[in-house]
Amino acid sequence: MSHPEIDPLPESEDVKSGAGAASTDELGPSYLTVTKTISSWVFTLDHKRIGLMYLVGVLFMFLLGGVFALLVRTELFSPLAILTPLFASTPEAQADLYNKWFTTHGAIMVFLVIIPGVPAALGNFVLPLLLGAKDVAFPRLNLGSFYLWVTGAIFFIYVLFSGGIDTGWTFYTPYSAESGTAVIPALIGVFILGFSSIFTGLNFIVTIHKMRPKGMTWFKMPLFLWATYSTAVIQVLATPVLGITLLLLILERTLGIGIFDPRNGGDPVLFQHFFWFYSHPAVYIMIVPPMGVVSELIATNSHKRIFGYTYIAFSSVAIAIFSFLVWGHHMFTSGQSTTMNIIFSGITFSVGIPSAIKIFNWLATMYKGAIVLNTSMLYGISFIFLFTIGGLTGLFLGVLSIDMHLHDTYFVVAHFHYVMMGSGLVGFIGGLHHWWPKMTGKMYDEFLGRIACVMVFIGFNLTFIPQFVMGSLGMPRRYYTYADKFEGYHQLSTIGSYVMAAGFFLTAYYLIQSLISGKKAPMNPWGGNSLEWHTPSPPPLENFYSVPVATDPYDYVGMEYDQATGNYSTIKPDQLPARREER
Amino acid sequence: MIAIPTILADSEPSFWLPAPVSNFAGPIDGDFYFVYWVSIFFLVLITLLLGIFMWKFRTPPGAKAQSHKDHHALLEVVWTGVPIILSVMMFWYGYRGYVDMVVPPNESISIVAEAQKWAWNFSYASNGAVIPGMSDDFNDVRAQIRAGALTPEEANAAEAKILEKAGLHVPMGVPIDVTVMAADVLHALFIPAFRVKKDCVPGRTGKLWFIATEPGIFDLFCAEYCGQGHSWMHSKVVVHETVEEYEKWLAVAGSYDETLPFADNGKIVWKRRGCISCHSIDGSKKVGPSWDGMFGSTRKFAATGTPGESIADEAYIQESIRFPMKKIADGYPPQMPVVKLTDKELLWVTEYIKSLGQNSGGTVSPRKDN
Amino acid sequence: MSGDVQPQDSNQQAGHGDGHEDGHGHSPYQAHHFDTMRQQFEAGKLGMWLFLATEVLLFGGLFCFYTIYKANDPELFKWGHHFLDKRWGATNTMVLLFSSLTMALAVREAQLGRKNRIIFFLVVTFLCGAGFMGIKYVEYSKKFEEGLFPGKYFAYENVVDAEEARMHEQEQQKLAHTELDLPQAKVVTELPKAQGLVLQPATPPMGLAAPPKEPDDHGGGASSSVTDAGHAPGLALDPSHLPPGPRPANAHVFFSIYFCLTGLHGIHVLIGMGMMVWLMVLASQGRFGPGYFTPVDLGGLYWHLVDLIWIYLFPLLYLVE
């Protein structure tokens, strides 16, 4: 409704062949410049603008959650109180404060950053482009999802200002039923965020089903779409259960309905079942889309057809299906029955297989490729390494006997950080770099990009490898203070987190710098062949000047590189029209 | 302050796992190292391949891939099949190890571990003695070591002194069957050296068992987040060399010295039964009201229990201990668990509160305690 | 043709002018107006089905709780369902079934484009929804009068208990006047409430998670206070509602589940009624016809789901035996 009609341009040969090193502005306004009022952003129905707004919001929340992570890590540098005395006087109040910090860090990172990160922010921008569509199926619902996300974020910020919340992001009863902190606003926030996630998923499923272009059968879709599709199914099917569970927890706190609180006749383990019925699949909401991103990164930057396409595609689907059947492995020590423990342990191993398949196929894709080690590829390679560690350490926790020892220790903390952050967020950042030129029309500084990636990689491993060790030595999680023998590990971990933070700040610096003074991005700077690289950077309002015809997204044979413009196209440089030489 | 070098100089016998001192430690460590070496193998394999491919096939932009082969059925079968086989093996080992941990043998010593915010209590079935975890005393020792007030030897002596009447004591070589319970919220009993852990769920009981295989003193932690004092809620496990030694300890530890004045025994009750974690005796505000100057003051009650007010006399104190949710002191959360004191303990602790000061009139409101 | 929908056009606009401009951006004229509509209709329908799936799962969670608690404590449900009036429940079932019929007719009329009939059937459906909510109101207020609240506000005592409580209260009031000089004098004024809980039968813990034996806890304190304050003197129960046996422990859990299930369902009925009004407005503008009836169709799907959930709720809650 806020879209002014733009005239379709005469189809220039440049655009068709992809030789258009031309930015959109030479051909006509891009989606960024087509309208300039604030309301044209606030009420936009354009998926690209919504994706960009998501991105800004998610990155802001990432900063906020990251600050809390640094607070937590700094506090743990020593078993003595370090930071908390600045804000609270008694030891009790200091411990409470620490508990609020780690809860806030966890809740923000899970619900506001990683879950919406790839699907809502990157997915919104890229998905219709990959499909050659003009928008998602329900643009208004899409905008609605975004504002639901904003509402949820506002609830969380309200929680921060109303004294915080100290239940841990898992909201385990009965502690969450009796904690004196702002639990209800946080629960309402998560409930609303859940619906934001559901509507995004619903939108994507319908879009992928009904809006694929001519010639794009299911098995010609880019793998990112397979990943997004699998994720969307999880979002739609798992999130409502979380919604009703949190609703009942709110009622437990207000009315004491006696479902979860043993003092009212309820069962706390039941809460855990329902919580993890959502939250385990939610782990795959966080990891499967980055896997899709990495499939694109690896194939594009290796300039080689992705290896084992169908295996990767089906492994995404398999992960989505298995994800619903393994929630009980979070509760091996909770007192659920022995039989259930054994069944859940067995099924848990089945999730490992599709993950292994993906890793080996990515490796095979790199074999004999033409690997350009740009920033996004470095993130892709980091992803493979970190996800390998995250996945392998998951095996320890899936083995029933070992989990008796490792459950609720720092080993678990390190494991899920490798999966959720080392893989989920690194995939997200990699995707951000991959599509940054497409989103903004600007190139960032490759040199600083690589440095930052290496810093994040080193910092990350330095933060979390010591946590594996101290976890298996018996350091329980969520501890404000700890036995002296763990001090050295904590110090390494804290130093690592600073290195990582420096890497992220450097990233923020050069990305912002690229907006101000970055080179103009060509149409296809990486040599990708999926449809988003067949439209100018940034794309025009309705994405394509002419109806794109889907070809094989992983066919890089005909791609020629033009040194002068940094662009890939199907035309050899020496045959390019002279007009392009002037830049 | 930098303690990183201690990682290498640490006394732990292995880099990854604490000293194995129970019957489960051997098998679990075996499973651990099986998964560990499988993981190391794959990690090294994948990292090497990544590194080699990165190095060997790196090109400037614009180069062409050397091959476009995009499928290989045999490879797919191999890298699907091998993980499946290894997974089944891991599951099988874990299953075998776990089943052993579920059912305690018949002839075992029964101990009940009850968790509350934020204290442990261990009741021994053989004589009904209730021995506290004394987390606060151990925290004191920790703090003094850090402050440099105690040398390591002195600290060990101090801990040994505390452990005379505290901690989870077990004899070596005998199956110990621990029933875990929780009075308020979730906790978890975790003894790293024994490789055992069980959640304490209010309204349910859980079981774990083990046979300690070496005498010594080992850490015991709360592993499930339970609020403010979660990280302070630790204690020690003492493994006695023989059953006789253990029984001798139990007989002494389980008794109060009834020759002491009531108030002195009351102070022991305050520490032993966990009152200490919520009620201070110096006027500082914890989860519950301080006991300092409480006796004889006028208590205001919040609307969540029975509203109104009353003088804090003996009847009030004893009612508040027996039925903590009945009258909630205004300004404090309704969180006090029911601590089942014996009649004598109740008497002693009442006397102790009395001894902590008595206000002359009914003018002091509980809020001023802070 | 695919990939050529104008999704940013809202449903109701798509049927009109935009169809002509649909051609821009791809080969013109080939995408016939009808083709576009069809694709859009299918997308909308798929979206609605997915949304209904999430609704089913939302209720599914509650049904799970119902199943688990019923499996653990069947007596509780046998006891509790005596308080639910089967006659009202059955009436409501009929009302909703009838409304589903009228909704289906409304969809059919929308496909035929008969404006007045659409509105007529929508109004009937709306009235059925209102009737359903009216009956729910009657049922709820009865529960509230009897003190059958969810959770810790649960305040029901059967007639004998209530009678005893009243006598006890009188006794205590007499005592209060004679014993003013006792140390607990200030508390004595509050004593009747505290005393009420003595009447609670000390039920043994049942089920998987019995509450710790704290006689001072919520159930007791709250129950008698509410009863005493409001309803005890005139407590007159419909004899047909007298439960068959003594009150089980955790009696409040049955009503928690009852109110959660019927409450969530009631909210959905209200949303459905709001939707009817919106559809009436659209219909009165003459928007629906053979080419465009998506909103009515989707609204119908939603209404049928709400109906279907009640069909499950009714036997699960009202017809336990």
> What ipTM did this prediction achieve?
0.90
Q: Tell me, what's the pLDDT at C164?
A: 60
Q: Which one of A136, A141, A213 has the shortest CB-CB distance to C3?
A: A213
CB contact under 8 A, C215 and B323: yes
pLDDT above 90 for C180: no
- Tokens standing for C315? 């036997």
Supply the mean pLDDT for chain C.
71
- pLDDT for position C243: 60
Average pLDDT over residues B3-12: 68
Residue-range domains of chain A with CATH:
46-582 (1.20.210.10)
Distance in angstroms (rounded) separating the CA atoms of residues A392 and A389: 5
Under the phi-then-psi rule, with left for phi > 0, alpha for psi from -120 to 50, and beta for the rest, what region is B114? beta
**B59 assigned to some structural domain:** no
Q: Which residues of B138-167 are buried (b: 16+ CB within 10 A; e: fewer)?
A: bbebbeebeeeebeeeeeeebbeebbebbb
In a domain, B63, yes or no: no
Residues B181 and B93 both lie in one domain: no
For residue A402, give the chain B residue with the closest CA. Answer: B28
CA angle C300-C302-C305, nearest 5°?
110
For the ranges A357-371, A512-526, C63-77, C192-206, the lowest mean pLDDT is seen at C192-206
- Minimal Cα distance from B3: which residue of A? A488
User: In this model, does residue A44 exceed pLDDT 60?
Assistant: yes
Most confident of A406-415, B359-368, C210-219: A406-415
CATH number of the structural domain spanning residue B114 = 2.60.40.420
* Domain count along chain B: 3
Domain contains B66: no
Per-residue confidence (pLDDT) for residue B345, from 0 to 100: 85
Is residue A504 over pLDDT 70? Answer: yes
pLDDT digits (tens, 9 = 90+) for B245-267: 999 998 888 777 778 888 888 88
Res. A366 pLDDT band, cuts 50 70 90 = very high
Distance CA(A334)–CA(B200), nearest Å, equals 8
Query: A439-458: per-residue pLDDT in tens?
Result: 999 999 999 999 999 999 99
Residue B323 belongs to some domain of the structure: yes
Find the residue in C nearest to A139 (Cα): C8
Chain A contact present for B333, CB below 8 A:
yes
B176: region left, alpha or beta (phi > 0 left; psi from -120 to 50 alpha) = beta
Task: Please give the pLDDT value at position B1.
Answer: 63
**Average pLDDT in the A48-76 region?**
96
Query: CB of B99 within 8 A of CB of A338?
Result: yes
Class of domain C44-151+251-318: mainly alpha
Query: B307: which chain C residues are within 8 Å (Cβ-Cβ)?
Result: 190
- For residue C229, what pLDDT is reported? 38
Distance of alpha carbon A33 from alpha carbon A25, whole angstroms: 8
| B36 lies in the same domain as B118 | no
- The domain segmentation of chain C, as residue ranges, is 44-151+251-318, 159-236
pLDDT at C235: 43
**pLDDT tens track for B128-146:** 788 888 888 898 898 888 8
Tell me the nearest-neighbour CA distance from B277 into chain A, angstroms. 10
Q: What single DSSP character describes residue C289?
A: B
- Cα C38 from Cα B233, distance rounded (Å): 65
Cross-chain CB nearest to C190 (options B202, B307, B315): B307
Measured CA to CA, the distance from residue A196 to residue A151 in angstroms comes to 10
Quick one: closest CA in A to C28, which residue? A547
Q: What secondary structure, in 3-state letters, does B33-86 show?
A: HHHHHHHHHHHHHHHHHHHHHHHHCECCCCCCCCCCCCCCHHHHHHHHHHHHHH
Task: List, for residues B302-339, the tens digit of each pLDDT value.
Answer: 777 677 888 888 888 888 888 888 888 888 888 788 87
The answer on pLDDT for B24 being more than 90 is yes
User: Does B362 reach chain C within 8 Å, measured CB to CB?
Assistant: no
Interface test with B, best of A395, A423, A559 (most B CBs within 10 A): A395
Element (H, E) at B216: strand B216-222
pLDDT at position A24, please? Answer: 54
Q: Do A90 and B53 touch (CB under 8 A)?
A: no
**Model confidence pLDDT, tens digit, residues A84-140:** 999 988 888 999 999 999 999 999 999 999 999 999 999 999 999 998 888 888 889
Q: Are strands B216-222 and B175-182 parallel, antiparallel or unpaired?
A: unpaired
The answer to whether residue A516 scores a pLDDT higher than 90 is yes
Cα A410 from Cα A470, distance rounded (Å): 7
Asked if residue C190 lies in contact with residue B308, where contact means CB atoms within 8 angstroms, the answer is yes
Residue A224 backbone dihedrals phi, psi, to 5 degrees: -60, -35
pLDDT of residue B283: 79
Please give the pLDDT value at position B316: 87
Please report, for the domain that includes residue B353, its CATH number: 1.10.760.10
pLDDT of residue B11: 58
The answer to whether A180 and A165 are in contact (CB under 8 A) is no
The stretch C85-104 carries a mean pLDDT of 92
Put simply, the answer to whether A401 touches B142 (Cβ < 8 Å) is no
Q: Which tens digit of pLDDT belongs to each residue from B116-130?
A: 988 999 988 877 788
Q: Count the neighbouring beta carbons within 10 Å of the beta carbon of residue B250.
A: 19
Please tell me whether residues B124 and B209 are part of one structural domain: yes
Q: Which chain B residue shows the shortest CA-CA distance from C152?
A: B304
Residue B344 in this model has a pLDDT that exceeds 70? yes
> Chain A contacts of C264, Cβ < 8 Å?
244
> Does the CB of B41 have a partner CB in chain A at under 8 Å?
no
Q: Which residues of C touch B318 (CB under 8 A)?
A: none
Instruction: Flag whether B60 is in a domain.
Output: no
Token pair, residue A542, equals 């309705």
What's the start-to-end Cα distance of chain B, in Å? 35
Last residue of a domain, one of B84, B102, B120: B102
Is the pLDDT at B161 greater than 50? The verdict is yes
pLDDT higher at B166 or C179: B166
pLDDT at B242 over 90: yes
Interface of B with C in 157-196 (CB under 8 A): 183
Instruction: Taking residues A372-394, report their average pLDDT.
Output: 95
Answer yes or no: do B241 and B328 share one domain: no
Q: Which one of B6, B41, B55, B185 would you mutate to disrupt binding with A, by most A Cβ within 10 Å of its Cβ?
A: B185
Q: How confident is the model at residue C205 (pLDDT cuts 50, 70, 90)?
A: very low
Nearest residue to A119 via CA among A51, A62, A57: A51
Tokens found for residue B256: 């109060």
Percent of chain C surpassing pLDDT 90: 33
What pLDDT, on the 0 to 100 scale, is given for residue A580? 42
Task: Look at residue B75 and tell me if it is in a domain.
Answer: yes
Q: Find the mean pLDDT for residues C144-153.
A: 78
Q: Measure the CA–CA gap between A121 and A51, rounded to whole angstroms.
A: 5
Residue C214 with chain B: CB contacts under 8 Å: 323-325, 338
What is the mean predicted confidence (pLDDT) over C82-101? Answer: 90
Whether residue B243 sits in one domain with residue B116 = yes
Tens of pLDDT along B71-103?
889 999 999 999 999 999 999 999 999 998 988
Distance to chain A for C106, nearest Cα, Å? 25
- Verify that B295 and B354 share a domain, yes or no: yes
Question: Is residue A311 within 8 angstroms of chain B, CB to CB?
Answer: yes
CB atoms closer than 10 angstroms to residue A191: 21
Average pLDDT, chain A: 89
Give how far Cα A157 sits from Cα of A65, A153, A186, A211, C140, Å: 11, 6, 9, 37, 37
The reply to whether B212 and B189 lie within a common domain is yes
Cα atoms in the Cβ-side hemisphere of radius 13 Å centred on A405: 34
The shortest CB-CB distance from A353 to any of B16, B80, B335 is to B80
pLDDT of B212 above 90: yes
Tokens 């039989």 correspond to A339
- Provide the β-strand partners of residue B196: B191
Q: Give me the amino acid identity at C296.
A: V
Shared-domain flag, residues B286 and B152: no
Q: Which range marks the domain in which residue B19 is found?
A: 1-52+71-102
- How far B262 CA sits from the closest chain A CA (Å)? 30
Task: Report in angstroms the alpha-carbon separations of C245 from C72, C77, C80, C252.
Answer: 18, 12, 10, 15
Asked, for residue B211, whether it belongs to a domain, the answer is yes
Query: Are residues B121 and B241 located together in one domain of the fold?
Result: yes
**Do the domain assignments include residue B172?**
yes
d(CA B344, nearest CA chain A) in Å? 28
Instruction: Return the top range by mean pLDDT from A435-439, B289-293, C246-250.
Output: A435-439
